Amino acid sequence: MNFAKPYNDLREFIAALDEHGKLYRIHREINKDTELQPLVRWQFRGLPEEARKGFLFDNVTDAKKRKYNCSVLVGGLAGSEAIYCLGLKCQSEEVADRWLYAMDHPVEPVMVPHGPCQEEIHKGNELLARGGLNEFAIPISTPGFDNGPYITAGHWISKDPETGKRNVGNYRGLIKGPALSGLMSGTPQDLSAHWEKCRQRGVPLEVAIAVGTIPAVSYAATQKVPPDVDELALAGGLIGEPVKLVKCQTVNLEVPATAEIVLEGIIPTNYMEEEGPFGESMGYVDPRTLSTVFELKCVTHRKSPIWVSIISQVTPSESSKIKAMGMATLVKRFLINRGLDSVRDVHLMEPLVNLRPYVVVSLKKRNDQEPWDAMQGVLDYGDRVGKLIIAVDEDINPRDPVAVTWAITHRSQPHKDIKVVGNRPFGATPIGMVATHPSSRYDNCESSLLIDATRKADFPPLSLPKKEYMVRAREIWEELGLPKLEPQEPWHGYLMGLWPEDLAREAELAAQSEHEKIWEKLRQTRMQIGEGETMKSMRLKWGKSHSGRAE
């Protein structure tokens, strides 16, 4: 694996965004609570992906006209595929290999004696000297619905109190005061498991929140990987070099040395509070959740720090893109490691659906059991993946929902090719939020739908001209100076097992304009209609000895 020299810090990456025309620098005064996120949102609801850029705001205020000594970056980590690839210094087609390599070759982080993340330190009696959490221009993500600013790009670092294994995850946190924030971590997530173990011991969980790291740390922190994988080592594997760490000031943890901001503290295990509402990535507002609370003990940051916020909510978004770039590869790796080497590709739908609920697996199957094994493997991957799982043949583009629907309608029979699996987690859909509400007619349980849309017989060829004819026609198209083509799969016909030699020969003769020879052959197939026969009865009789439409 070849690696370019990685970024030393977020600021080097921002300079690269600028150099590549992927950054807007906004000097106009912007209200972080009502204007900032809606402004960035418009590029996700009104521009094609290739036109999206990161936004760096350096004149941020709030409704009370407060000024902040920090900039705010939004959309700068994964506003688009191009931005994400720039973060890894690789091409789009290399991203999957980067993730596979990193999972197999993690690079352990290294300790350094000091780092820029501790250029300024506020702790003890000086903890709130600059305002604590209020020192930073933390924006409201969904103005009109959210009940305050949320940490959205904070990488929460904790350790398993039994094993000492580190976890780095990205979670939302509602600002509740100068030294308090909420923390929404799902029940199955690693940080929640650490908290439960600390609760059983009667001690708080120590955490550190790193904001504004090198991109690879953000990319690793937002993916679901096995609990024994250190996301900081995974980040090192993504860039081919160890991530540099420094010791925290007040907790027994290590944090990226070049982070813009680090928030150290504890999560008490003797109380919880309500948190929310927050516009979630499933596309609906999460009204309220009983969550844990983060108590701030120390703030360290660079001079003139940059606060990073990930734009989430309705997808596509930065939140969905940062996950999409690695998640399908990790699911495919999981399936192949289970022995399902017939799997060719995995796709999770990003727009509106938000990835996890909709999964398509393409296979070059050897038997009819393999699609079901692959779909069960997706369920077993965990991380609430797979409410609707569809298995398709390798000739179907899993990224094209029209092609997938075509496979479902033309290659499956609902009475035998559909399976409902019960007792599933609600996952990234709103039903789990409303199932127990008095207005709900939903059951308070979830299920998954599995569809085998692969072929169970040889099929006749796809009804488009053969590839050689389409290639030649495209040459003529371009010779004529006609509008630039953007080919959509499928764009040529191909064989799928059922194509008798005599029919192939007839097609060859037709292409040679030898039509008379075909006419003579077809006249030899003439069948006389007997007394009492109908069109249907004749076709049924013919179908007993021929393959073709017999209705």
Instruction: Tell me which amino acid residue 103 is.
Output: M
Instruction: Tell me which amino acid residue 3 is.
Output: F
Q: Give the residue-averaged pLDDT of 45-62.
A: 97
Is 309 strand, coil or helix?
strand
The predicted structure's pLDDT at residue 546: 81
The predicted structure's pLDDT at residue 1: 86
CA–CA distance from 133 to each of 107, 115, 496 (Å)?
32, 21, 62
- Cα–Cα distance, 469 to 190 (Å, whole number): 55
The predicted structure's pLDDT at residue 166: 97
Are 291 and 343 found together in one domain? Answer: no
- Cα–Cα distance, 336 to 347 (Å, whole number): 15
Are 301 and 277 found together in one domain? Answer: yes
Supply 137's token pair.
Answer: 């221009």
Q: Is the peptide bond before 398 cis (omega within 30 degrees of 0)?
A: no
Are 116 and 192 found together in one domain? Answer: yes
Nearest to 434 by CA among 274, 276, 279, 285: 285
CA end-to-end span of the chain: 57
Are 101 and 202 found together in one domain? Answer: yes
Long-range CB pairs of 10-16, under 8 A, 24+ apart, other chains included: 10/73, 10/212, 10/213, 10/214, 10/215, 10/258, 10/259, 10/260, 10/306, 10/308, 11/306, 13/76, 13/86, 13/87, 13/214, 13/215, 14/54, 14/56, 14/73, 14/76, 14/306, 16/86
Q: Does 328 reside within a domain?
A: no
Are 167 and 297 found together in one domain? Answer: yes
Q: Does 1 reside within a domain?
A: no
Is 509 strand, coil or helix?
helix
Q: Length of the chain, please?
A: 551
Per DSSP bridges, beta strands 446-452 and 388-393 are: parallel
Q: What is the pLDDT of residues 321-347, one digit of tens each?
A: 999 999 999 999 999 999 999 999 999
Are 491 and 510 found together in one domain? Answer: no
Are 27 and 154 found together in one domain? Answer: yes
Are 362 and 464 found together in one domain? Answer: no
Give me the DSSP letters along 224-250.
---TTS-HHHHHHHHHTSPPEEEE-SS
The predicted structure's pLDDT at residue 426: 87
Q: Does 329 reside within a domain?
A: no
> What is the CATH number for 434?
3.40.1670.10
Q: Does 324 reside within a domain?
A: no
Q: Give the residue-averaged pLDDT of 139-161.
A: 97
The predicted structure's pLDDT at residue 15: 98
Q: Could you tell me the pLDDT band of residue 283, with boundaries at 50, 70 and 90?
A: confident
Q: Could you tell me the pLDDT band of residue 428, with boundaries at 50, 70 and 90?
A: confident
| Strand blocks (E) in 394-503 | 418-424, 446-452
- Residue 551 pLDDT greater than 80, yes or no: no
Is 453 within 8 Å of 403 (Cβ atoms)?
A: no
Q: Could you tell me the pLDDT band of residue 281, with boundaries at 50, 70 and 90?
A: confident
Q: Give the residue-averaged pLDDT of 537-542.
A: 90
Q: Residue 252 CB: number of other CB atoms within 10 A?
A: 10
Is 158 within 8 Å of 227 (Cβ atoms)?
A: no
- Residue 520 pLDDT greater than 90, yes or no: yes
Q: Does 332 reside within a domain?
A: no
Last residue of a domain, one of 309, 327, 355: 309
Supply 149's token pair.
Answer: 């600013």
Q: Give the residue-averaged pLDDT of 479-501.
A: 95
The predicted structure's pLDDT at residue 550: 58
* Number of domains composing the chain: 4
Are 485 and 346 found together in one domain? Answer: no
Domain carrying residue 408:
338-452
Is 473 within 8 Å of 484 (Cβ atoms)?
A: no
Are 161 and 271 found together in one domain? Answer: yes
Q: Could you tell me the pLDDT band of residue 43, with boundaries at 50, 70 and 90?
A: very high
Q: Does 31 reside within a domain?
A: yes
Q: Does 175 reside within a domain?
A: yes
Q: What is the pLDDT of residues 262-279, one digit of tens each?
A: 999 999 999 999 999 999
> What is the CATH number for 35?
2.30.110.10
Are 523 and 489 found together in one domain? Answer: no
Nearest to 419 by CA among 361, 458, 457, 373: 373
Supply 29's token pair.
Answer: 């005064």
Supply 181's token pair.
Answer: 């924030």
The predicted structure's pLDDT at residue 282: 86
Q: Could you tell me the pLDDT band of residue 188, with boundaries at 50, 70 and 90?
A: confident
Q: Does 131 reside within a domain?
A: yes
Are 79 and 22 found together in one domain? Answer: yes
- Cα–Cα distance, 125 to 262 (Å, whole number): 18
- Residue 311 pLDDT greater than 80, yes or no: yes
Q: Is the peptide bond before 204 cis (omega within 30 degrees of 0)?
A: no
Give me the DSSP letters along 62-84.
-TT----SSEEEESTTTSSHHHH
- Residue 229 pLDDT greater than 90, yes or no: yes
Q: Could you tell me the pLDDT band of residue 104, with boundaries at 50, 70 and 90?
A: very high
Q: What is the mean pLDDT of the chain?
A: 95
